[in-house]
Structure 1
Amino acid sequence: MLNIDWKELGFNYIKTDYRYISYWKDGKWSEGKLVKDNMLTISEASPALHYGQQCFEGLKAYRTKEGKIQLFRADANAKRMMATCDRLLMPTVPIDMFLDAAKKVVKANEEYVPPYGTGATLYLRPFVIGVGDNIGVKPATEYIFSIFCMPVGPYFKGGMTPVNFCVSDYDRAAPKGTGGVKVGGNYAGSLLPHAEAAKRGFADCIYLDPATHKKIEEVGSANFFGITKDDKFVTPVSPSILPSITKYSLLYLAEHYLHMPVEQRDVYIDKIDEFKEAGACGTAAVISPIGGIEYEDKLHVFYSEKEVGPITKKLYDTLIGIQFGDVKAPEGWIFEVE
């Protein structure tokens, strides 16, 4: 029996029993296998270490009220990883291989999937890295694809609470750069802006478009959305924004479950008073309600700095309900682990 207090879990690394690993050599992936060892041995000349030729994903497994285990839109993670691998000239992991690996990892670590009702989940971290003896600036000749997992707690332990953000002077990504794919360098570059925002008492910072510094792109490492005063669900559009699976899920739910108009368009930082509610969305928190955004030394407050707006709350409850099996999911969103 595991000695885990499910209700006290945070978002921290916990070594679970098994992880999946496959090696790319001579133009093909090896047959993947489950291993107990959580250490990788790679060449000191691996391009992942020197040139950032690597990518990752994040998704979760959920335990339903009936005790079943399900993955949420795992095929979308597989497709996004394929797009990232293409951008970095890495071999893609086929969707079927990705799904099979994810299911095997969850099944092999089934006792680590938290019980229904705790709000906790099993977080999966798939990644691909370029390895081998390669000191020149060129693609690796060998690669590793792996998935490991760990139980993580609910993001909001005491209920959802709005948080404030400030606008950053830093750029998250360059125009036509790698902002639209999930590479580690995007996150390394965000560490300093985040630290500076936190030092000033903000949850994180808002990144504007790198070309004009007039349009909202991302909120820390999450996507932005706003609810207009006439009840439209709006998210920014830009090739530099990572296509968040949570965001596209919320777009669908807003339109088809809450029957709201939805728009993907430019969101200008000097016109944020068009929104009565706002949030940041991603795998970890699902939705982080935005209380206010500081821009040019003025804090613009949306619904409230203390309470979550009603539409944001309804979107959160609907998506969480689908993920835990309490609300009927759109077709193709759920992958059961048997």
Structure 2
Amino acid sequence: MTKELDWKNLGFSYIKTDYRFISHYKDGQWDKGELTRDNRLHIAEGSTALHYGQQCFEGMKAYRTADGSINLFRPYENARRMKKSCDRLLMESYPEEQFVEAVKQVVRANEKWVPPYGTGASLYIRPFMIGVGDNIGVKPADEYIFSVFAMPVGSYFKGGLKASNFIVSPYDRAAPRGTGAAKVGGNYAASLLPGKEAKERSFSDAVYLDPETHSKIEEVGAANFFGITHDDVFITPKSPSILPSITKYSLLWLAENRLNLKAEEGDVYIDDLDQFKEAGACGTAAVIAPIGGLQVEEDFHVFYSETEVGPITKRLYNELVGIQFGDIEAPEGWIEKV
């Protein structure tokens, strides 16, 4: 099967690989977990994940390097973020060390699915947790399933590092003091309709404003927003209802420490788009998706270009991807070998 894959032209879609990891929480403790070939879950009809949305997930990648080894990019950050999501939904969090070890087991067991170096593709890894068991009342489950599966992927947005257009959505992604900062399915379910409407109008995705005032950019449907000002300041929105993107915080560090830019989290007012010469969306799946133009009601704002990628965005992309694939020296603790 892997020989038939066109590694350089992979999309972002499900591919059943050989193994996944699964562990069960019951009677107050997690079992040791195991690898399985079965990609189907058998759960109780009263599972809280089905009725009350008690579930969360993570997204991360493994990268084949030039010497044939495999890199994980900041996996402990994913483990910590999943713990925060679990805490928000009163789920029993999976221990961080065991989380990283489970991810490594899945990558090792599916090593032949890790795309070759030089193809630009990677192995996308999806850890997730769901509340299960015989429940019916609105309360936390007593049992949980933690699982990790993986598949080879290419770019999330078609064309890879290529400028595309986005549209500001009239919908809210999350409530002001809701679950926006947790990586839970409900946030994504809420984004499906706005995303569909954006794509029907030939935009790559929707951009969401803050739910309280609708005056500031918060997130893109599948990623975080960033902008680069005319005086070379790298800015990403700051808000308690934004998912704390590992890619975003990595870019903040790289912008300041590798590109010598001023980097900050702050307010990005929708009426002040003229301050930015470049803009983009960033995340594990998207990596960096340059925003060529942004439709704001009846106005269309172009940043660097509708078709060309800005030079700072390109440098950030090359620095980040170079670190992930092992071509550029990583900051201490960012790369974990499998």
Shared fold, TM over 0.5? yes
Task: Check if 1:128 corresponds to 2:98.
Answer: no
Following superposition, the deviation at residue 65 of structure 1 comes to 0.2
**CA offsets 1:191-224 (integer angstroms, 9 cap, x no match):** 0011111111211111001110001000112111
Q: In terms of mean alpha carbon deviation, does 293-302 or 306-315 score higher?
A: 293-302
Q: How far apart are the structure 1 equivalents of 2:66 and 2:203?
A: 36
Question: What does residue 239 of structure 1 align with?
Answer: 240
Question: What does residue 92 of structure 1 align with?
Answer: 93
Task: Check if 1:182 corresponds to 2:192.
Answer: no
**CA offsets 1:94-151 (integer angstroms, 9 cap, x no match):** 1101000000000011111111001111110000000000011110110000000011
SS at match of 1:255: helix
**CA offsets 1:267-325 (integer angstroms, 9 cap, x no match):** 10000110000000011121000011111301010000010000000000000000000
- Which stretches of structure 1, 4 residues or more, deviate above 6 A after TM superposition? none
Q: What amino acid maps onto 2:40 in structure 1?
A: M
Question: What does residue 228 of structure 2 align with?
Answer: 227
Task: Check if 1:329 corresponds to 2:319.
Answer: no
- Structure 1 residues 155 and 173: alpha-carbon distance in aligned structure 2, compared to 1, 3 A threshold: closer
Question: What does residue 213 of structure 2 align with?
Answer: 212
Q: Percent identity?
A: 69
Question: What does residue 270 of structure 1 align with?
Answer: 271
Q: How far apart are the structure 1 equivalents of 2:91 and 2:210?
A: 27
Q: What amino acid maps onto 1:195 in structure 2?
A: K
- Conservation of the 8 A alpha-carbon contact between 1:222 and 1:280: yes
After TM superposition, the score normalised by the length of structure 1 is 0.98
Q: How far apart are the structure 1 equivalents of 2:307 and 2:9?
A: 24
- Conservation of the 8 A alpha-carbon contact between 1:65 and 1:116: yes
- Conservation of the 8 A alpha-carbon contact between 2:13 and 2:153: yes
Question: What does residue 106 of structure 1 align with?
Answer: 107
Following superposition, the deviation at residue 166 of structure 1 comes to 1.2
**CA offsets 1:141-193 (integer angstroms, 9 cap, x no match):** 10000000011124467552111111111010001100001000000010001
Q: In terms of mean alpha carbon deviation, does 123-132 or 4-13 score higher?
A: 4-13
Q: How far apart are the structure 2 equivalents of 1:106 and 1:154?
A: 19
- Conservation of the 8 A alpha-carbon contact between 1:84 and 1:183: yes
SS at match of 1:140: coil
Task: Check if 1:117 corresponds to 2:124.
Answer: no
Following superposition, the deviation at residue 64 of structure 1 comes to 0.2
- Structure 1 residues 202 and 217: alpha-carbon distance in aligned structure 2, compared to 1, 3 A threshold: same
**CA offsets 1:57-85 (integer angstroms, 9 cap, x no match):** 00000000000001000100000000000
Question: What does residue 46 of structure 2 align with?
Answer: 45
Question: What does residue 75 of structure 2 align with?
Answer: 74
- Structure 1 residues 163 and 291: alpha-carbon distance in aligned structure 2, compared to 1, 3 A threshold: same
Question: What does residue 295 of structure 2 align with?
Answer: 294
SS at match of 1:135: coil
SS at match of 2:13: coil
- Conservation of the 8 A alpha-carbon contact between 1:207 and 1:218: yes
Gaps of 5+ in 1: none
Q: How far apart are the structure 2 equivalents of 1:77 and 1:264?
A: 20
- Conservation of the 8 A alpha-carbon contact between 1:121 and 1:154: no
SS at match of 2:206: strand
After superposition, the CA RMSD in angstroms is 1.1
Question: What does residue 2 of structure 1 align with?
Answer: 2
Q: What amino acid maps onto 1:277 in structure 2?
A: E
Task: Check if 1:316 corresponds to 2:317.
Answer: yes
Q: What amino acid maps onto 1:176 in structure 2?
A: R
Question: What does residue 22 of structure 1 align with?
Answer: 23
Q: How far apart are the structure 2 equivalents of 1:13 and 1:303?
A: 33
**CA offsets 1:207-253 (integer angstroms, 9 cap, x no match):** 00111000100011211100000000001100000000000000000
SS at match of 1:190: helix
- Structure 1 residues 30 and 321: alpha-carbon distance in aligned structure 2, compared to 1, 3 A threshold: same
- Conservation of the 8 A alpha-carbon contact between 1:45 and 1:133: yes
Gaps of 5+ in 2: none
- Conservation of the 8 A alpha-carbon contact between 1:235 and 1:267: yes
Question: What does residue 171 of structure 2 align with?
Answer: 170
SS at match of 1:276: strand
Following superposition, the deviation at residue 24 of structure 1 comes to 0.3
